Chain A
């Protein structure tokens, strides 16, 4: 079904998601939410890549890249959540401001 979507729509959507992710990452103090914001940003990039891949169907570079990012994101979440878990055990908190023992 033709929805009349052009590339600009995808790019605009991705920009919006990316901005939400970036602002969320910068503004929120909860590490879990920050991790989710990172996921949002990664997925906005994925969306862009897949959208552009649709315009250049002959090569599958965009999709391949997207799969890479999904794999990397999975690994990142695994590590990140483990850190958050340990951090919680240590400080009984998931606020990123609490992680300041390396501060001068």
Chain B
């Protein structure tokens, strides 16, 4: 450790470059050479790059821990790779900072350190798992290239020291998510799921871009330190409406409406920035409204769902809010919006998860719900609790997804169909066939339902407790110039009643979580296996699929191989036993054991109730600035144990017990009864609240009809009128010009000869043209005739009849005019052939405009154009005024002079 800190000083910690570079190298190596070097080399590259990155992260993390807390904030390790670009521009923030320098810089501090450990650690386990899960896939190398690229992008996201670098990683993980969701792109459902994820994320990214622009404009910095230092600038209210001075349509409306529209509205930039940032976080973290992509994202391979769509990428939004906590606490109203969205998402997704039958869909909605919990925690100002839930959720949800993958892998032995192999109705009783998966899945289940002392219990309990008691009080008054209008949300007060409502929503979601997770566990592992009879027409898939090497489900082939050997399969039919589900190989179960263990015991990293919270102490300096604005309602301490008891009794015991009664004791009869009794509600939940249908009808429908309109315009206006007109014109011209294409060389050369004769005729007589330099003010005129080979000139500029002289070489002529005088001048040009031509021009010197107080006429200021063409003030002649020009008049006169000169 001593040596490490010696080689890599904290301000130039180049090891971060190695940590980032290894997965990138793995991605490039696998992507370019993967197909040629074979599966083993791909596995080696993919696993070792992430594994070594994890070890380096661990070493850096320990080094970080050994740094004593500085007085100025969290310990951190910096590495600046290079200067990216420098932003100039105008704005209150920019004026202070001159320009914004964007460095490609990375920083490891407690927050990003924990995140990068999760990314590389869980990432490594999932790489290991994938090496078996994807073994039979023909695009094995492509999978590992994407996965490594994802690890790289995610590390850029969390380690980036500024918002733009974070954004690079943010888009990078979005890209990898897209590529991996549509990994089996030959199925169009998978490809469109990828597209959906990508497009939905664009909505969020728009918010993030807007937030970046606002921060650059108002704060003048985009790196974390700079934003935190300049955040007070976000508290000076700005006018957000009307955009210009008045609303254009206001004049058309009745007076009172127009006044209402025109009234200026003010808002803190802080609220704007926070809401825009939250929009970005909503997209990435699948919050209510933008959640639609995450359940569909389960179309990707299961390890991808575990790594990207449960453990790491979807928590990027929470990370962003934690990272900019110091900005978010400036706007209590934005924080309240975050909390409300989080709580509603948690409840909403949990209701959907109640009735889903696809094992991955249940887990997907569970993920959305848990993300809602995280945002609820962050929204009420409990950044540490929200972030801790990110950590525990990464453990137990990755374990659940990998367990589900193991189950699906086993189910493939019997069912050669993606959807049917994920359907809970075909499972049951798998406990007996795959004990390892069962035990680890149960451990993760215990964590997510909140079994006391497991990790999920500690993190969720903390969030619920804080939802009830904690609130954001807002900043001390740092208002700048007080605006002339009302500031929106200025009087927002976070009352204890709001906290209670948030708490109750969260508690309901927790009860539902316990219920549906128990339903999932029971449906998958308990009872008897229902998969025996689901494929009555089943024949030996080995014969049918032996040559089919394009499918993704080929990893089941080896299963068939040994299963088929063990079974007699004379005739198909329901009575036939078929191959049995089986436990997965060690590459898939080891990650399960590790994650299951973490799911059970990681809670003690931050168990505040029993005063064991090393993670909390470690993260404290990161949230130090923000926590100054977070306060507790009255009676918070006394609620600590009541809340915990409620969480245990109501959420855990109630939810699990009820599910046990419904699905174990009553064999699921009550559930079927209720579904029969309220078919509308059941269908509504099964159809996921019909959000997709709603979007289909509104947004997608609107876009579609816009597209239809464009198609119509293209068909009838562009193609119908414009294209036909162009084509017709071309055709007519072509018909005319075709007559000239006789195909006779003589005709062509005759036309050419005629053309040359025309040119000769033009050159025969000279063209008299002149360039003039007119100075109307002085009355001087200079004329210069255009030059030509062998030309000679004569002029008539003296105003008298007759030429001034004979032909000569003198090209120029000058004359002067008095005011309002008119004169006609003539020039004659003769060329070498002796042919002459002449031209006449008439000049009138205009009267000075007496209506304008130009020059010395106003007696105050006169603008003189100097020899060098610059304008300067002259002293006023013969006036009694004191010397020293009147600056306003001077400016006006200068403007006039400039316009005249132009």
Residue B482, interface by CB 8 Å: no
Asked if A99 lies at the interface with its beta carbon under 8 angstroms from chain B, I say yes
B753 contacts A103, CB within 8 Å?
Answer: no
Residue A71 at the chain B interface, CB threshold 8 Å: no
> Which A residues lie within 8 Å of B611 (CB)?
none
Q: Do B744 and A104 touch (CB < 8 A)?
A: no
Tally of contact residues, B, Cβ under 8 A: 10
- Contact B746–A103 (Cβ < 8 Å): no
Q: Which listed residue, A26, A102, A104, touches B746 by the CB 8 Å rule? A: A26
A92 at the interface (CB under 8 A from B): no
Q: Are the C-beta atoms of B746 and A96 separated by less than 8 Å?
A: yes
Would you list which residues of chain B between 725 and 754 have a CB under 8 Å from chain A?
Answer: 738, 741-746, 749-750, 753
- The answer to whether A34 touches B753 (Cβ under 8 A) is no
Q: For A22, give the chain B residue with the smallest CB separation.
A: B753
Question: Which residues of A lie under 8 Å from residue B746 when comparing CB positions?
Answer: 25-27, 29, 96
| CB neighbours of A99 from chain B (8 A) | 743, 745
| One of B738, B744, B749 near A100 (C-beta < 8 A) | B744
Are B745 and A103 interface neighbours, CB within 8 A? no
CB distance from A15 to the nearest CB of B (A): 13
CA–CA, A26 and B744, complex, Å: 10
Chain A interface residue number, banded: 10 to 19
Cα separation A99 to B746 with both chains bound (whole Å):
11
Q: In the complex, how many angstroms separate the beta carbon of B152 from the nearest chain A beta carbon?
A: 60
Q: What's the least CB distance linking A80 to chain B, in Å?
A: 12
Closest CB-CB distance, B803 to chain A, in whole Å? 32
B741, B745, B753: the one contacting A104 at CB < 8 Å is B741
For the complex formed, measure the closest distance between the CB of A101 and the CB atoms of chain B, giving whole angstroms: 8
In the assembled complex, the Cα of A100 lies from the Cα of B743 at a distance in Å of 5
- A95 vs B470: C-alpha distance in the bound complex, in angstroms? 102
Q: Which residues of A have CB within 8 Å of B744?
A: 96-97, 100
For A96, what are the chain B residues with a Cβ–Cβ distance below 8 Å?
744-746
- Per-position contact with B for A16-43: 1 when CB-CB < 8 Å, else 0? 0000001001110100001000000000
Cα separation A22 to B753 with both chains bound (whole Å) = 9
**B interface, over-half SS:** helix
A22 vs B744: C-alpha distance when bound (angstroms): 16
Residues 745-772 of chain B, each 1 if its beta carbon lies under 8 Å from chain A, else 0? 1100110010000000000000000000
CA distance A34 to B742 in the complex (A): 18
- Which of B742, B749, B750 sits near A103, CB closer than 8 Å? B742
Residues of A within 8 A of B753 (CB): 22, 26
B741 touches which of A26, A29, A103 (Cβ 8 Å): A103
**Which residues from 46 to 100 on chain A have a C-beta closer than 8 Å to any C-beta of chain B?**
96-97, 99-100
Closest chain B CB from A31 CB (angstroms): 8
In whole angstroms, what is the CA distance A97 to B746 when docked? 9
Q: Which A residue sits closest to B747, measured CB to CB?
A: A26
Chain A nearest CB: distance from B753 CB in Å? 7
B residues in contact with A27, CB < 8 Å: 746
Scan residues 559-573 of chain B and give those whose CB is less than 8 A from a CB of chain A. none
Asked whether B743 lies within 8 Å of A26 as measured between CB atoms, the reply is no
Which residues of chain B are near A26, meaning CB under 8 Å? 746, 749-750, 753
Q: Which residues of B contact A34 (CB under 8 A)?
A: 745
For the complex, give the distance between the alpha carbons of A96 and B749 in Å.
12
Q: Which residues of A contact B749 (CB under 8 A)?
A: 25-26
A104–B738 Cα distance when bound, in Å, is 7
**Chain A residue, CB-CB nearest to B745:** A96
**Which residues of chain A are within 8 angstroms of B743 by Cβ–Cβ distance?**
97, 99-100, 102-103
Question: What is the CA–CA distance of A48 and B786 in the complex, to the nearest angstrom?
Answer: 29
In the A-B complex, list the 6 residue pairs whose CB atoms are closest, starting with the nearest.
A103-B743, A100-B743, A96-B745, A104-B738, A104-B741, A26-B746
Known: A25-B749, A103-B742. 11 other contacts (CB 8 A): A22-B753, A26-B749, A27-B746, A34-B745, A96-B745, A96-B746, A97-B744, A97-B745, A99-B743, A104-B738, A104-B741
**22 residue pairs bridging A and B, Cβ less than 8 Å apart:** A22-B753, A25-B746, A25-B749, A26-B746, A26-B749, A26-B750, A26-B753, A27-B746, A34-B745, A96-B744, A96-B745, A97-B743, A97-B744, A97-B745, A99-B743, A99-B745, A100-B744, A102-B743, A103-B742, A103-B743, A104-B738, A104-B741
